[in-house]
Structure 1
Amino acid sequence: MKISELSKRTQVSIRMIRYYEERGLLIPTRTASGYRQFTAEHIEQINKIKILKDVGFTIEDIRPVMQCQLEAKDGQICGQLKEKITRKIEQIDQSVANLIQAKATLSQYV
Protein backbone atom coordinates (compact mmCIF):
# COMPACT_ATOMS: atom_id res chain seq x y z
CA MET A 1 0.00 0.00 0.00
CA LYS A 2 1.07 3.58 -0.57
CA ILE A 3 1.88 6.01 2.21
CA SER A 4 -1.47 7.80 1.80
CA GLU A 5 -3.38 4.58 2.49
CA LEU A 6 -1.17 3.78 5.46
CA SER A 7 -1.89 7.26 6.79
CA LYS A 8 -5.64 6.74 6.46
CA ARG A 9 -5.57 3.29 8.04
CA THR A 10 -3.46 4.35 11.02
CA GLN A 11 -4.75 7.90 11.52
CA VAL A 12 -1.12 9.08 11.43
CA SER A 13 -0.11 11.92 9.13
CA ILE A 14 2.06 11.27 6.09
CA ARG A 15 4.59 13.69 7.55
CA MET A 16 4.77 11.65 10.77
CA ILE A 17 5.12 8.38 8.84
CA ARG A 18 8.05 9.89 6.95
CA TYR A 19 9.53 11.01 10.27
CA TYR A 20 9.20 7.46 11.65
CA GLU A 21 11.00 6.24 8.54
CA GLU A 22 13.78 8.84 8.99
CA ARG A 23 14.22 7.74 12.60
CA GLY A 24 14.45 4.06 11.59
CA LEU A 25 11.14 2.99 13.12
CA LEU A 26 9.64 1.96 9.77
CA ILE A 27 11.47 0.46 6.82
CA PRO A 28 9.27 0.33 3.72
CA THR A 29 10.28 -1.29 0.49
CA ARG A 30 10.47 0.83 -2.66
CA THR A 31 8.94 0.26 -6.06
CA ALA A 32 11.06 0.53 -9.19
CA SER A 33 9.87 4.12 -9.54
CA GLY A 34 10.86 4.94 -5.95
CA TYR A 35 7.45 4.93 -4.24
CA ARG A 36 7.29 3.62 -0.70
CA GLN A 37 5.43 0.33 -0.30
CA PHE A 38 3.92 -0.52 3.07
CA THR A 39 2.33 -3.71 4.34
CA ALA A 40 -0.06 -4.76 7.09
CA GLU A 41 3.03 -5.26 9.25
CA HIS A 42 3.72 -1.52 9.03
CA ILE A 43 0.19 -0.84 10.32
CA GLU A 44 0.96 -3.03 13.34
CA GLN A 45 4.29 -1.26 13.86
CA ILE A 46 2.63 2.16 13.80
CA ASN A 47 -0.04 0.99 16.23
CA LYS A 48 2.71 -0.17 18.60
CA ILE A 49 4.49 3.16 18.22
CA LYS A 50 1.25 5.00 19.03
CA ILE A 51 0.71 2.90 22.16
CA LEU A 52 4.28 3.45 23.34
CA LYS A 53 3.99 7.19 22.71
CA ASP A 54 0.67 7.30 24.57
CA VAL A 55 2.26 5.86 27.70
CA GLY A 56 5.14 8.32 27.58
CA PHE A 57 7.92 6.72 25.56
CA THR A 58 9.92 9.12 23.42
CA ILE A 59 10.91 8.38 19.83
CA GLU A 60 14.44 7.76 21.11
CA ASP A 61 13.03 5.21 23.60
CA ILE A 62 10.88 3.58 20.94
CA ARG A 63 13.63 2.94 18.38
CA PRO A 64 15.49 0.29 20.42
CA VAL A 65 12.16 -1.21 21.49
CA MET A 66 11.09 -1.64 17.86
CA GLN A 67 14.52 -3.01 16.94
CA CYS A 68 14.29 -5.47 19.81
CA GLN A 69 10.90 -6.67 18.61
CA LEU A 70 12.14 -7.10 15.05
CA GLU A 71 15.00 -9.26 16.33
CA ALA A 72 12.85 -11.25 18.79
CA LYS A 73 12.56 -14.96 18.19
CA ASP A 74 9.76 -17.24 19.36
CA GLY A 75 7.91 -14.36 21.01
CA GLN A 76 10.79 -13.66 23.40
CA ILE A 77 11.54 -10.04 24.12
CA CYS A 78 15.00 -8.73 24.84
CA GLY A 79 16.09 -7.68 28.30
CA GLN A 80 16.31 -4.03 27.30
CA LEU A 81 12.64 -4.03 26.36
CA LYS A 82 11.64 -5.85 29.57
CA GLU A 83 13.48 -3.26 31.65
CA LYS A 84 11.88 -0.32 29.84
CA ILE A 85 8.42 -1.85 30.14
CA THR A 86 8.93 -2.64 33.83
CA ARG A 87 10.00 0.96 34.54
CA LYS A 88 7.07 2.32 32.54
CA ILE A 89 4.59 0.07 34.39
CA GLU A 90 5.99 1.34 37.70
CA GLN A 91 5.54 4.94 36.51
CA ILE A 92 1.97 4.21 35.37
CA ASP A 93 1.18 2.56 38.73
CA GLN A 94 2.47 5.66 40.53
CA SER A 95 0.43 7.93 38.27
CA VAL A 96 -2.70 5.85 38.92
CA ALA A 97 -2.10 6.03 42.68
CA ASN A 98 -1.67 9.81 42.44
CA LEU A 99 -4.87 10.16 40.42
CA ILE A 100 -6.82 8.03 42.90
CA GLN A 101 -5.58 10.25 45.72
CA ALA A 102 -6.47 13.40 43.76
CA LYS A 103 -9.95 12.02 43.05
CA ALA A 104 -10.49 11.22 46.71
CA THR A 105 -9.38 14.71 47.71
CA LEU A 106 -11.62 16.40 45.12
CA SER A 107 -14.57 14.19 45.99
CA GLN A 108 -14.59 15.67 49.49
CA TYR A 109 -15.66 18.99 47.99
CA VAL A 110 -18.72 17.80 46.06
Structure 2
Amino acid sequence: MQIKEAQEKLKISSYTLRYYEKMGLIQPYRDENGYRNYSEEDIHKIERIMFLRDINVPIEDIKDILNNKVTFQDVLENHIEKVNT
Protein backbone atom coordinates (compact mmCIF):
# COMPACT_ATOMS: atom_id res chain seq x y z
CA MET A 1 0.00 0.00 0.00
CA GLN A 2 1.18 3.50 -0.72
CA ILE A 3 1.92 6.14 1.91
CA LYS A 4 -1.59 7.64 1.87
CA GLU A 5 -3.20 4.26 2.51
CA ALA A 6 -0.67 3.47 5.22
CA GLN A 7 -1.21 6.76 7.02
CA GLU A 8 -4.98 6.28 6.92
CA LYS A 9 -4.75 2.70 8.18
CA LEU A 10 -2.32 3.62 10.97
CA LYS A 11 -3.83 7.04 11.70
CA ILE A 12 -0.45 8.79 11.58
CA SER A 13 0.95 11.48 9.34
CA SER A 14 2.99 10.91 6.22
CA TYR A 15 5.65 13.07 7.93
CA THR A 16 5.90 10.48 10.71
CA LEU A 17 6.24 7.64 8.20
CA ARG A 18 8.99 9.50 6.36
CA TYR A 19 10.68 10.28 9.70
CA TYR A 20 10.72 6.59 10.65
CA GLU A 21 12.26 5.85 7.27
CA LYS A 22 14.84 8.63 7.67
CA MET A 23 15.79 7.26 11.10
CA GLY A 24 16.33 3.80 9.59
CA LEU A 25 13.45 2.12 11.40
CA ILE A 26 11.61 1.09 8.23
CA GLN A 27 12.60 0.64 4.60
CA PRO A 28 9.48 0.55 2.43
CA TYR A 29 9.82 -0.77 -1.09
CA ARG A 30 10.07 1.91 -3.77
CA ASP A 31 8.36 1.23 -7.09
CA GLU A 32 9.68 2.37 -10.49
CA ASN A 33 8.09 5.80 -9.95
CA GLY A 34 9.80 6.19 -6.57
CA TYR A 35 6.56 5.82 -4.61
CA ARG A 36 6.82 4.16 -1.23
CA ASN A 37 4.94 0.88 -0.91
CA TYR A 38 4.37 -0.58 2.53
CA SER A 39 3.98 -4.32 3.02
CA GLU A 40 1.93 -5.89 5.80
CA GLU A 41 5.24 -6.60 7.54
CA ASP A 42 6.08 -2.89 7.35
CA ILE A 43 2.66 -2.02 8.80
CA HIS A 44 3.18 -4.40 11.74
CA LYS A 45 6.65 -2.97 12.34
CA ILE A 46 5.23 0.57 12.32
CA GLU A 47 2.53 -0.46 14.80
CA ARG A 48 5.26 -1.80 17.07
CA ILE A 49 7.24 1.44 16.68
CA MET A 50 4.12 3.48 17.49
CA PHE A 51 3.54 1.44 20.65
CA LEU A 52 7.13 1.95 21.77
CA ARG A 53 6.94 5.68 21.04
CA ASP A 54 3.67 5.89 23.01
CA ILE A 55 5.54 4.66 26.08
CA ASN A 56 8.38 7.12 25.36
CA VAL A 57 11.03 4.63 24.27
CA PRO A 58 13.77 6.61 22.47
CA ILE A 59 14.31 6.07 18.74
CA GLU A 60 17.81 4.65 19.31
CA ASP A 61 16.42 2.00 21.67
CA ILE A 62 13.67 1.16 19.17
CA LYS A 63 16.33 0.75 16.49
CA ASP A 64 18.23 -1.65 18.77
CA ILE A 65 15.07 -3.67 19.45
CA LEU A 66 14.22 -3.92 15.75
CA ASN A 67 17.80 -4.95 14.93
CA ASN A 68 17.76 -7.58 17.73
CA LYS A 69 20.67 -5.92 19.55
CA VAL A 70 18.62 -5.83 22.77
CA THR A 71 15.37 -7.34 23.90
CA PHE A 72 12.19 -5.40 24.43
CA GLN A 73 12.25 -6.55 28.05
CA ASP A 74 15.75 -5.10 28.60
CA VAL A 75 14.74 -1.74 27.15
CA LEU A 76 11.49 -1.73 29.09
CA GLU A 77 13.24 -2.49 32.39
CA ASN A 78 15.77 0.30 31.75
CA HIS A 79 12.97 2.67 30.78
CA ILE A 80 10.95 1.86 33.91
CA GLU A 81 14.04 2.37 36.04
CA LYS A 82 14.64 5.81 34.50
CA VAL A 83 11.00 6.82 34.96
CA ASN A 84 11.01 5.78 38.62
CA THR A 85 14.15 7.75 39.51
- If the TM-score is normalised by the length of the shorter chain, which range does it land in? 0.7 to 0.9
Residue 85 of structure 1: which of 49, 54, 76 is its match? 76
Offset at residue 52 of structure 1 (A): 0.6
Q: Which amino acid counterpart does residue 85 of structure 1 have in structure 2? A: L
| CA RMSD across the alignment | 1.9
TM-score (norm 1): 0.67
Partner of 2:41: 41
* Rounded Cα–Cα distance in structure 2 between residues aligned with 1:56 and 1:16: 15
TM-score, scaled to structure 2: 0.84
Q: How many Å separate the matches in 1 of 2:18 and 2:31?
A: 16
What is residue 74 of structure 1 aligned with on the other side?
A: none
- 1:90 Cα shift? 4.9
Please say which structure displays the higher CA radius of gyration. Answer: 1
Matched ranges for 1:1-110 at <5 A: 1-68=1-68, 80-81=70-71, 82-90=73-81, 94=84
Structure holding more helix per residue: 1
Unpaired runs of 5+ in structure 2?
none
Higher relative contact order (CA 8 A, sep 6+): 2
Identity of aligned residues (%): 33
Report how many aligned residue pairs link the two structures: 84
